[in-house]
Amino acid sequence: MPETFDVLVVGAGPTGLTLAHLLAQADVKVLLIEQNASTVGEPRAVSIDDESMRVLQAAGLADAALADIAPAYGSEYLGPDGARFAIVSPSQGEFGWPKRSAFRQPLLERTLADALKNNRNAALRFGTRCVDHRDLGDRVIAILDRDGERSEVECAFLVGADGGRSRTRKAIGAELTGSSFEEKWLIADIVDTRDPYRETQVFSDPRRPAITLPGPHRTRRFEIRLWPGETEEQVTAEPRARDLIARYGGDADAEIERLRVYTFQARIADRWRNGRVFLAGDAAHLTPPFAGQGMNAGLRDAANLAWKLAAVLKGRLGSGLLDSYQTERKDHAWIMIRFAIRMGYLVSPGNRFVAAITRSALRASRLIPPLRDWLVQMRFKPKPRFAKGFFVTAGDLSARLCGRMFPQPMVERGQSTLRLDDVLGPGFAFLCYGRDPGLLAAGFGGVADRLGASVTGCLPRNFAFPASPFEPLIRDSTGAIGRFMGDRDAAVILLRPDRYVAAAFEESELPQAGDVMSRLIETVRERVAP
């Protein structure tokens, strides 16, 4: 008899590790396998965003990850003459974490893998490769290879988080499509940097575009573009690599930890699912790292897919819900890839004339406050928002909010100030916003039970805690929740486990709220044919 799990996750990169944590937290039995003997040691992602930190927070991993994170850093863009023409320096992001923090992928992966070892719902096996799978319609059989020994595992769902060369992607007949963008870059990680500068520096010089990124624990990353004709052997030879590094700061003699050449691509899989088999992370999309979004996109996939698989496995929602994974994530992932390509033009301008005009325009934008803010606060980054998916847009408020990620401000609860998600807990959550949350909470009890949702009251910022409060009750002390809702006096919001808005009702719409949400649940009732 094969071993049986709810979900088999193939690949213990950041996507697979995060997905395994989120599934295990939702009481799903998960097996995570990795063909290598350990987590990655290669120089890969160095920038983690606020949305990913929120995902790690949801998985209970943010504190452990923070040990190897240098929080909140910006970037400056320098022209060929060395003059600065743009600064990006975002303050705290709306999702509860800094918009950009520096980290090292090998350290994060090790932290996530170590934390999984003590998890009673998860098993992590290194040195184990998935060589084949068969989708039988009601379950999947996967063939695993460990040191030449074959075994079978049975699971309800298989997720291929097996990276850019994904076996799973080929096996489900998905093709990578997209842009012809392809560039080679030398990646050098050094330790004990001599350069005290704390921001990312982008050397936007058509002669030799390069980026230096400071990291945690006095590390520094150099990313330096290769020209056609330059080979990996040439630029990774130490004297040549040191010569290149020396051009961008005072680290010519520093200890080099890793040297690699990567070819960056911009591609997306045309399908992310076949029956019971899904793709996530680099298996589904490949992006150049100029916007620092490859891993971040993979963590978004994990956050989107985990609660859907859990809800279907636990019988809370119908399996039609699983169709919304590709519907929601694919378009957004492509938007982020296009964003990265645009950022790439800024880093690595092809045309000197266009580059000079761009630099002048960005310099001039400093004189116009809204434009300056747009740049400095990183408002140019596409928002986490879905056009279609598992949410309803029934009235004005829901049209404005549904399909968007809810902000995560600090909120007051009694004498404490906490991040919103830490109050709401995992799973679906109703937020009853208004001076009398008890009244608002009366109308949708059946749906809350069905979804296993928590119900939290939220006072607007200009109301004090009453004597006999609704429990749990928080206060929107920063006003961020009120602003997000267009300064309504009262509303009820249904948040999904990934903290996107599924439904939103003004007070006057509450009598219909139960029906509207039941209809949403009905839309995913049918079992989707594999």
Ligand X SMILES: Cc1cc2nc3c(=O)[nH]c(=O)nc-3n(C[C@H](O)[C@H](O)[C@H](O)COP(=O)(O)OP(=O)(O)OC[C@H]3O[C@@H](n4cnc5c(N)ncnc54)[C@H](O)[C@@H]3O)c2cc1C
Length of the chain: 530
Cα–Cα distance list, 139 to 5, 7, 122, 301, 329 (Å): 10, 10, 19, 22, 24
Minimum Å gap between C-beta 1 and ligand X is 22
**Least distance between ligand X and beta carbon 280 (Å):** 7
Q: Which spans in 177-293 are helix H?
A: 232-236, 238-246
Phi, psi torsion values for 381, nearest 5 degrees: -70, 130
Nearer to ligand X, 34 or 498 (CB): 34
Return the C-alpha torsion angle 75, 351, 252, 86, nearest 10: -20
C-beta pairs of 210-215 under 8 Å, 24+ apart in sequence: 210/244, 210/247, 210/248, 211/347, 212/248, 212/249, 213/46, 213/47, 213/102, 214/70, 214/73, 214/102, 215/46, 215/70, 215/102, 215/103, 215/104, 215/189
Tell me whether residue 279 or residue 491 sits nearer to ligand X (CB atom).
279
Shortest Cβ 193–ligand X spacing (Å): 17
Instruction: Please tell me whether residue 89 adopts helix, strand or coil conformation.
Output: coil
8 Å CB contact between 134 and 140? yes
CA distance 244 to 246: 5
Backbone angles phi, psi at 500, to 5 degrees: -90, 155
Q: Is-contact 219 193, C-beta < 8 A?
A: yes
Q: How far is the CB of 347 from ligand X (least distance, A)?
A: 13
Nearest distance in Å: CB 33, ligand X: 5
In a 3-state reduction of DSSP, which class is residue 518? helix
Give yes or no for a contact between 316 and 450, defined as CB atoms under 8 angstroms apart: yes
Residue closer to ligand X, measured from CB, 345 or 393: 345
The nearer residue to ligand X, 208 or 366, going by C-beta atoms, is: 208
Say if CB 427 and CB 450 are below 8 A apart: no
Which of residues 33 and 441 has its CB atom nearest to ligand X in the complex?
33
Residue 303 CB, nearest approach to ligand X (Å): 13
Q: Is the bond into 80 cis (omega within 30 degrees of 0)? A: no
Judge whether 497 and 507 are in contact, CB under 8 Å: no
Residue 187 Cα distances to 80, 199, 366, angstroms:
21, 18, 32
- In whole angstroms, the minimum distance from the beta carbon of 289 to ligand X comes to 4
Comparing CB distances to ligand X, the nearer of 346 and 494 is 346
Between 186 and 503, name the residue whose CB sits nearer to ligand X: 186
Whose Cβ is closer to ligand X: residue 193's or residue 200's?
A: 200
CB atoms within 10 A of CB 217: 12
Shortest Å distance, C-beta 13 to ligand X? 2
- The Cα 213–Cα 193 span in angstroms is 11
Please, which residue, 106 or 437, has the CB nearer to ligand X?
A: 106
Q: Name the minimum Å distance from CB 51 to ligand X.
A: 10
* In the complex, least distance from residue 52 CB atom to ligand X, rounded to whole angstroms: 7
- Which amino acid would we find at residue 258? R
CA-to-CA distance for 420 and 409, rounded, in angstroms?
Answer: 6
41: Cβ–Cβ under 8 A, 6 or more apart, which residues?
A: 106, 258
CA dihedral 50, 52, 57, 60 (to 10 degrees): -160
Indicate the residue among 294 and 497 with the shorter CB distance to ligand X.
Answer: 294
CA distances from 25 to 63, 77, 111, 427 (A): 16, 41, 16, 10
* Minimum gap (Å) between residue 261 Cβ and ligand X: 9
Name the residue nearer to ligand X (CB basis): 19 or 501. 19
Smallest distance, Å, CB 329 to ligand X? 13
Q: Nearer Cβ to ligand X, position 286 or 317?
A: 286
Q: Which amino acid is at 404?
A: R
- Tokens standing for residue 217: 């624990």
Query: C-beta of 199: minimal distance to ligand X in Å?
Result: 15
Of 346 and 513, which has the nearer Cβ to ligand X?
346
* Minimum gap (Å) between residue 301 Cβ and ligand X: 8
Return the number of the residue (90 or 289) whose C-beta is nearest ligand X. 289
In the complex, the residues that contact ligand X under the rule CB under 6 A are 10-16, 33-36, 40, 43-47, 105, 129-130, 161-163, 167, 187, 262, 281-282, 289, 292-296, 298
Work out whether strand 285-286 and strand 255-269 pair parallel, antiparallel, or are unpaired. Answer: antiparallel
